[in-house]
Structure 1
Amino acid sequence: MQGIFWLLGLAALALPEWGYAETNGAAIVQPLDLTHHWAGYFSLTVMVAAYVAAMFEEATELRKSKPMLLAAALIWFVIVLVYQEQGNDLLAVTAFKSNLQTYIELLLFIMVSMTYLNAMEDMRIFDALKVWLVRKNLSYRQLFWITGLLVFFISCVVNGLTAGLLMGAVAVAVGKDSPRFVSLACINIVVATNAGGSFSPLGGISTLFVWQHGMLGFTEFFKLFVPCLVNLLVPAMAMHFALPKDKPTIEVEQVELPRGAKRIILLFGVTIGLAVGFDMALHLPAAAGMMAGLSLLQFFYFYMHKTDKADAQQQSEFALFFGGGDLNASAVNASRFDIFDKVGRLEWDTLLFFYGAMMGIGGLGYIGYLDAISHILYGQLNPSLANILIGLSSAFVDNGTLMFAVLTMHPDIPQGQWLLLTLTLGVGGSLLAIGSAPGIGLLGQAKGQYTFSSHMKWCPAILLGYFASIGVHFLVNANSF
């Protein structure tokens, strides 16, 4: 339990807390320290309880968003209550709104990204990629390397869970007669997915936070490409010699991409370009560019629906005339191009969990718990050691939550240290099967073949890759420190 308190203390997010003092006759805003107040103790207890409940989601069957949403509401309730007693409730409300704005920008960005991914899934684009890989008639060792390298690059633009499950499906399909291959391939996919998502601002929640807060520019993330590649290669080379040498025997299905599939891929690329352009050229939030891209998808769906409607109606009438037609054909066709159907299929439980985590931890920071933690991590400890330890803790605690907390500590560290933190938080989750979303997803997808214990057997090799990538970062990005 002490470890949980330490991690949550580390994750305590601070926003400006205002009180009043006099300096040279002028009124200055200063924080209200509530760390030893009943409201502080209550809030910390509520947050710990909510986080523990979220960690045991599978055992309790209680979705992780529920306790976090309740915790956030209770924490800000007591904060505003205390500030009302001091006559400064407007200051607490302003802090809440600042947290809320940050979350909304994140929500809109992820919403558009996941909507495009759902649209591509409906167009069977990922199925086509999976079948293309399976039909190559490659050996187990070749498939091991190809799936790892592919997911490494895919995860820099596609969320880690989707990318991991896509390549996991390939591993399970080709390794149905070789559980050892499936286990090793899944470990490699988890490591590759987390590494690939660490050198791009679009690769995950933690990198997106760093980009949103302006700590690193869009192109500066690519300085982590070589360290992230090393993080993948070190454990992969160790596992290579444990792989079967023969070729799998598999049956291949046929996948035909429907009309409009390639254009949706193009529109997704344009949308990412708009997000980057809005941020770099117009200095607007990247979410504004993503929403502009969502409008393009809506107009494209409108065009597809109108042009397909006449053909579908003619085919339905023809089929009905000869018998066996489907009266709901036009309705089904309309559903294919319903943008709100794609939005409705987002991982809302995860998105609401992040709301609770960000707002709850934001409340803890506003109370004042962050300053002491920040002084310990970035005052008493060496910043490099602090960032390495934070990265290791991401094997147990969500890396997006940790990154958001550290960002709002406002540590005075150079660009190289921000890159180091991005690297360690991104790849640290690979140390355990439950340390990242791809790992958890593959535990279910390859149940019985890829397990927590099978991942743990290769933890020393993964840990070696973790420290090797840090060493390479210090070497190749020395001028950033």
Structure 2
Amino acid sequence: MHYLLLGLIILAFVLIVFEDVVHLNKAKSTLFIGTLVWIIAFVFPEKSPQAIQEALNEQLLDIAILWLFLMAAMTFVAYLNEKGLITQLVYRLLPNQLKLSTLMILIALLGLMFSSLADNITASLIMLSLLASLKLETKDTLKFAALIVFAVNSGGVSLITGDVTTLMIFLNGKVSILNLMLLILPAIAGVAILALILMQGSNEIITLPKFKRPIAAGDKLIAALFLLTIISTLAMSVLFSVPPVLTFLFGLALMFIVHRIIFRKEQNPNVLEYVREIEFDTLLFFLGVLLLVGMLKELSILKLLPELYTMMPAVVANYIIGILSAFVDNVPLTAAILQSDIPMTRGEWLGLTYAVGVGGSILIVGSAAGVIALSKLEALSFISYLRFIHWLLVAYTCGYLAVMGLTQLLL
């Protein structure tokens, strides 16, 4: 039964890879197989039905939290996109004409900044909306997509609110806030190296559209509320351990109320209509992928990971774990290592923090940012992203080596 379930999970990921060949939407295939493996687990149980139900409930709770968070963030972004607010603000900061290579550097910096201020899901939605508005050629769109995914994943590794795995390692007492700040420079270095590689041959001058229409005061207020929601989410999480999803849902509810008050005398569409603008393919894809990862956890595949640390030095094992996080969700990977209580130095724990936070960028399905990009950009597929895998590995390796070098010098 283990082999059957594992075979089905592998089949699901193969169907994602060859989506363009089989012409089966990845959201449909992952949801189908993701639910099928759990049904099989109930019909042919190797544990008690109660144990399987508890495992499924735990997985569904994680999925529900992610769904609700995504729904709230995507509704905000859908509203701001509809009003052209994000693109207007960014374009007003940029010159009318600039080299494509210069734009690539600016996009990398924006990705790092947004994911540091917010979280990688919100940052991904904002950056991908900006990328879509640029209307670049397909080859350039793919380059920018790879850079955005890597930059967004790199931006949050030095903040306990920026990445779940960073928070997990911090809460286990393996690193301190000051230790995590050491990851800022390696994260910037990795993104800079990838940007320098990808910008080769991109010397053409492009003209950016300029939005001349004024931004309505009400829309500015909604944008300010979005920013306040992000800041509040970070503050409430750090100060009072309020779950980020709760604060974000509160911000969304406040947005609905504020919008109703502002536009009560105007013939404006109901703000709830923007919930319908959400691309539910993205949410269904997440649902299917997380069900598959949950079954991998049930099959105890992840429990084999700590054995890596008995076969090789922790520095090497952490590097490999980062690459593995491109295949399996980094949260259960990190949890398996923390639960095994592997002895590591403070510097080695920082190396693991960077590895599991950034390593998922190597494959498009290896991180939330990648999955969102895959769902939102028509030109992007698993195969088209693979053309950058060697450069992503180079950038990841350079960032990881920078972490190791800094920790050797300062810790």
Compute the TM-score of the two structures, normalised by the length of structure 1.
Answer: 0.69
Partner of 1:30: none
Q: Look up the match of 1:362.
A: 294
The within-5 A match list for 1:103-122 is 103-122=63-82
Q: Distance in 2 between matches of 1:300 and 1:209?
A: 34
What's the TM-score once normalised by structure 2's chain length?
Answer: 0.79
Please name the residue that 1:196 is paired with: 155
2:128 maps to 1:165: yes
Gaps of 5+ in 2: none
User: Which of 55, 59, 67 is the aligned partner of 1:99?
Assistant: 59
Are positions 1:236 and 2:195 aligned together?
A: yes
Partner of 2:308: 377
For residues 292 and 371 of structure 2, what CA distance do their matches in structure 1 show?
21
Partner of residue 296, structure 1 = 254
Residue 263 (structure 1) aligns with: 221
CA contact (8 A) 1:141 1:240 kept: yes
Q: Counterpart in 2 of 1:225?
A: 184
Give the Cα separation in 1 of the matches to 2:36 and 2:380.
39
1:291–1:45 CA distance, 2 compared to 1 (3 A): same
Paired with 1:394 and 1:55, the residues of 2 have a C-alpha distance of 17
Q: Give distance in 2, aligned partners of 1:180 and 1:81.
A: 47
Q: Decide which of 256, 265, 269 is 1:334's aligned counterpart.
A: 269
The percent of aligned pairs where both chains have the same amino acid is 23
Change in 2 beyond 3 A, CA 1:266/1:250 = closer
Cα separation, partners in 2 of 1:297 and 1:208, compared to 1, 3 Å:
farther
Conserved? CA contact 1:138–1:247, under 8 Å: yes
How many angstroms does 1:128 deviate by?
A: 0.1
The Cα of 1:231 is off from its aligned counterpart by 0.4
Once superposed, what is the RMSD of the aligned Cα atoms? 3.9
Shift of 1:185: 5.8
Cα separation, 2, equivalents of 1:466 and 1:256? 42
Which residue matches 1:412?
341
1:188-208 deviations in Å (ceiling 9; x for gaps)? 5554344335445666xxx23
Separation in structure 2 between the aligned mates of residue 185 and residue 356 of structure 1, nearest angstrom: 27
Contact 2:86 2:126 in 1 (8 A): no
Q: Is the 8 A contact 2:91 2:210 kept in 1?
A: yes
What SS does the corresponding residue of 1:256 show, helix, strand or coil?
Answer: coil
Asked if 1:208 is matched to 2:164, the reply is yes
1: CA distance, partners of 2:365 / 2:41: 34
- Which one has a bigger Cα radius of gyration? 1
Which segments of 5 or more consecutive residues in structure 1 lack a partner in the other structure?
1-38, 313-329
* 1:202-243 deviation digits (Å, cap 9, x = unpaired): 66xxx2355378558995765422111000222334556644
Is the CA contact 2:150–2:358 (under 8 Å) kept in the aligned structure 1? yes
Q: In 2 relative to 1, CA 356–55 (structure 1 residues): closer, same or farther, beyond 3 Å?
A: same
Matched, 1:346 2:309: no
Correspondence for 1:45: 7
Q: Is the 8 A contact 1:128 1:255 kept in 2?
A: no
The CA deviation string for residues 26-74 of structure 1, in whole angstroms up to 9 with x for no partner, is xxxxxxxxxxxxx322222222222222332233232223233333333
Separation of aligned partners in 2, 1:281 and 1:250: 41
CA displacement, residues 353-400 of structure 1 (integer Å, 9 cap, x when unaligned): 3323323332343243333x22433443433323322333455x3xxx
**2:354 counterpart residue number:** 423
The residue aligned with 2:25 is 63
Task: Provide the rounded CA distance (Å) in 1 between the counterparts of 2:228 and 2:208.
Answer: 37
Q: Which of 394, 401, 404 matches 1:464?
A: 394
Where does residue 89 of structure 1 map in the other structure?
A: 49
In structure 1, give the amino acid aligned to 2:187.
Answer: C
Amino acid at match of 2:227: G
* Alpha-carbon distance in 2 for matches of 1:238, 1:425: 23
1:229 is aligned with what amino acid?
I
Q: 1 CA distance for matches of 2:292 and 2:139?
A: 42
* Gap change, CA 1:167 and 1:301, over 3 Å in 2: closer
In the TM superposition, what is the alpha-carbon distance from 1:149 to its structure 2 partner?
1.7
In 1, Cα distance between the equivalents of 2:69 and 2:299?
29
Aligned to 1:403: 330
d(CA) in 2 for partners of 1:89, 1:184: 47
Instruction: After TM superposition, give the deviation of residue 117 of structure 1 in Å.
Output: 1.5
Distance 1:303 1:439 in 2: 34
